[in-house]
Amino acid sequence: MKKYIPGKTFLSVLFILNILISTLSVAQTVKLKIIETSDVHGAIFPFDFRNNKPSGTSLAQVCSYVRQERNNKDQQVVLLDNGDILQGQPVVYYYNFEKTSLPHILSQAMNFMQYDAASVGNHDIETGHPVYDRVNREFNFPWMAANAVDKKTGQPYFKPYAIIERNGVKIAVLGLITPAIPNWLPEKIWAGMEFEDMIQTAAKWVKIIKEKEKPDLIVGLFHSGVEYNYNNQTADMPKNENASELVAERVAGFDVIFTGHDHKIWNKSIQNPEGKGILLLGPNNDARTVATADLVLNYDKPSHSWKKESAKGEIIEIRNYKPDEEFMQKFTPAMQEVKDYVAKPIGNFTETISTRESMFGDSPFMDLIHSIQLDLTKADVSFAAPLSFDTKIDKGDVYVRDMFKLYKFENLLYTMELTGKEIKGFLEHSYSLWFNQMKDSSDHLINFKLDENGKPAKNARDNIYELKAPYYNFDCAAGIIYTVDVSKPEGQRVNIISMADGSPFDMNKTYKAAVNSYRGNGGGGHLVEGAKIPKDELSKRIINSTEKDLRFYLMKWIEKEKTVKPAAFGNWKVIPEEWYQKGKEKDFKLLYNSRHSD
């Protein structure tokens, strides 16, 4: 008969209990819901400050959805944002540049919503070091961009990745930003950084994360689009702007990749180099949708690891949710303060101006911008494009909010040196993007994307006709008199007759040109592909740059003028006239019938 030893038996029971407790502490099955917002562009509140009316989508409504999902005790929620949140609605502009003594409304709101991690977007960088550095300090979560490298240290300027744990599951989230920023933004805005290729950076950091963190899941949070061939790029081109799908296909290790930047909805499975399917997900812009990944993981005891049993993507419509009551109660005073700010009158317009006219020819809307650019810079020639597809400013009192219709982005204003030949090349490039080569008066004027039958193609998602190139690249010019012959092929359409004052235009003479910083840094290809100026020489052509964004100077100009009489200069026209008129009438209906305003 065995001798009973109380102490030994007690220790044995305690040991067994510890094993049971440790086993039970790790759930056998964990359901994860990862929620992604992206390209919110300042849509914090259910109110459109630009148009002074309620809006259907906002972070306040995303907050309701997230609260609902967190209240579901059968799942664990991870909340991510994918960049481009600091630019867009006047509310973020106000906290970016006007009210800087208190924490930014964005960091307050996102901390309240308890975001777990976020990536940096190109329009966040566009706000400048003082703004994004400040917000980065205020966030209670990692703001990431592994491929935005500090030149001094060789390390990421922002956090490269985040580690999030849910019920014993270790999740690594790698953040990347589109590396094309130097093509659009002046160096002073991103000084001290360089932007590396996404595919190379992803491969590098996945290896580091696996070795150092040994995560159960790796998630990509990439502020970059999916269509790698956008703007004539190729899959093997270094620093591709939209490389999210390329990373999914070429870098093993990811379980889910969230996209952004292109304002397009994505929900599909991609095969990685090991033949495994991974989710590729992305919402569109302005908090209209969020992308979610629902994953089920089972704990495998023999290997002491989590195994992914299933993964499903879904796109959630946010307009179906009411604004979160606690969110609105907390932040309504800030919303009202911004309403008061944008309601400040700054001048008076004698006529209503609309960007619709700007899509087809010379217009009062565009020539108002040209007037201001020429006045500010004293340049010989001004270039500008419509930055909103369908917006207007009514005659009568003009308010601060109208400046966000007149000029949508935080661009600086450059004065650059261009020869007459380069000015012509610039315009040839613009009109090749903008207008179709018409065969006769029954043809289309606008350069649409075409279907397999050669007819204008509709976007399957929105059921609207798609342009072949973005409208914000449709630059026209002031300071010169010229025609655009749409019967001729690309590169042979623009005929510059004279300067605006009637003096000769000289192809060999050097002129001063006013352009925004996006265009001046090579955005759209007008200077590099059109004017044939090497990319690394563009900075040498800059004579002067404004310190503040162009919108600020537009506002001050209108305040000084008090009464503004918008009118088209009539300095350029499209020919043949009959073809132009019929093409315009036809394409106006295609572009604007049943289409909402931006």
pLDDT at 464: 85
Domain that holds residue 410: 344-592
As given in the structure block, the two tokens for residue 250 are 């070429």
Q: Mark whether 246 and 354 lie in a shared domain.
A: no
- E strands, 486-569, are 494-499, 510-516, 542-545, 563-564
Are residues 323 and 388 both part of a single domain?
no
pLDDT, residue 10, reads: 46
Residue closest to 55 by CA, chosen among 64, 44, 67, 65: 44
Strand-pair category, 193-195 with 148-150: antiparallel
Structural domain ending residue among the three candidates 338, 366, 382: 338
As a whole number of Å, the end-to-end CA separation of the chain is: 88
Last residue of a domain, one of 338, 367, 386: 338
In a domain, 12, yes or no: no
Number of domains forming the structure of the chain: 2
Claim to verify: residue 415 and residue 301 sit in the same structural domain: no
Instruction: Report the distance separating Cα 502 and Cα 497, nearest Å.
Output: 9
Residue 249 and residue 349 in one domain: no
- Residues 436 and 573 reside in one and the same domain: yes
Tell me whether residue 147 is in a domain. Answer: yes
One-letter amino acid identity for 556? K
∠ CA 79-58-166, nearest 5°, is 10
Residue 474, classed as helix, strand or coil, is: coil
Q: Is residue 145 part of a domain?
A: yes
The CA-based angle 56-468-388, given to 5 degrees, is: 40
Q: Rounding to the nearest 10 degrees, give the CA dihedral for residues 388, 183, 132, 514.
A: -60
Amino acid 461: pLDDT? 66
DSSP assignment, residue 494? E
Q: Which amino acid is located at 22 in the chain? A: S
Bridge partner list, 451? none
Task: Answer yes or no: is 3 within a domain.
Answer: no
Residue 111 belongs to a domain:
yes
Q: What are 372-410's pLDDT values in tens digits?
A: 999 999 999 999 999 999 999 999 999 999 999 999 888
Given this model, what pLDDT does residue 489 score? 97
Does residue 36 share a domain with residue 134? yes
Angle (nearest 5°) at CA 141 between 138 and 143: 80
Strand residues in 330-449 grouped as ranges (E): 345-349, 353-354, 381-384, 392-393, 396-399, 413-419
- Tally of residues, the chain: 598
Same domain, 265 and 369: no
Residues of the chain with pLDDT under 50: 1-8, 10-17, 19-25, 594, 596-598
pLDDT of residue 27: 57
Contact 557, 376 (CB under 8 A): yes
Cβ atoms of residues 446 and 435 within 8 Å: yes
| Secondary structure of residue 341 in the 3-state scheme | helix
Phi–psi pair at 115, nearest 5 degrees: -60, 145
305 shares its domain with 423 = no
Three-state SS for 504?
coil
Closest residue by Cα to residue 571 from 397, 421, 428, 382: 382
Q: Strand 277-282 to strand 289-300: parallel, antiparallel, or no bridges (unpaired)?
A: unpaired
CATH number at residue 371: 3.90.780.10
CA distance 535 to 234: 18
Whether 354 and 290 share a structural domain? no
CA distance 472 to 351: 23
Instruction: Decide if 117 contacts 80 (C-beta within 8 A).
Output: yes
Q: 172 has which bridge partners? A: 163, 218
Question: Within a domain: residue 249?
Answer: yes
Which burial class, exposed, middle or buried, applies to 103 when counting CB atoms under 10 A from its CB (0-12, 13-18, 19+)? Answer: middle
CB 317 within 8 A of CB 180: no
**What's the 3-state SS for 207-260?**
HHHHHHHCCCEEEEEEECCCCCCHHHCCCCCCCCCCCHHHHHHHCCCCCEEECC
Residue 449 lies in a domain: yes
Judge if 262 and 411 occupy the same domain.
Answer: no
> Is there a domain that residue 226 lies in?
yes
Rounded CA separation 132/494 (Å): 41
Final residue of a domain: which of 286, 314, 338? 338
Name the pTM for this structure. 0.87
Nearest to 154 by CA among 209, 193, 198: 193
Tokens at 261, concatenated: 């930047």
Give φ, ψ of 455 to 5 degrees: -100, 155
- 198: domain CATH number is 3.60.21.10
Are 365 and 316 in the same domain? no
Q: In what order do the strands lie in the sheet with 572-575?
A: 494-499, 480-485, 572-575
**Co-location of 375 and 356 in the same domain:** yes
Tokens found for residue 10? 């007690």
Question: H or E element: which one contains 517?
Answer: helix 517-520
Q: Is residue 592 exposed (0-12), middle (13-18) or buried (19+ Cβ within 10 Å)?
A: middle
For residues 146 and 158, give the distance between their C-alpha atoms in angstroms, rounded to a whole number: 7
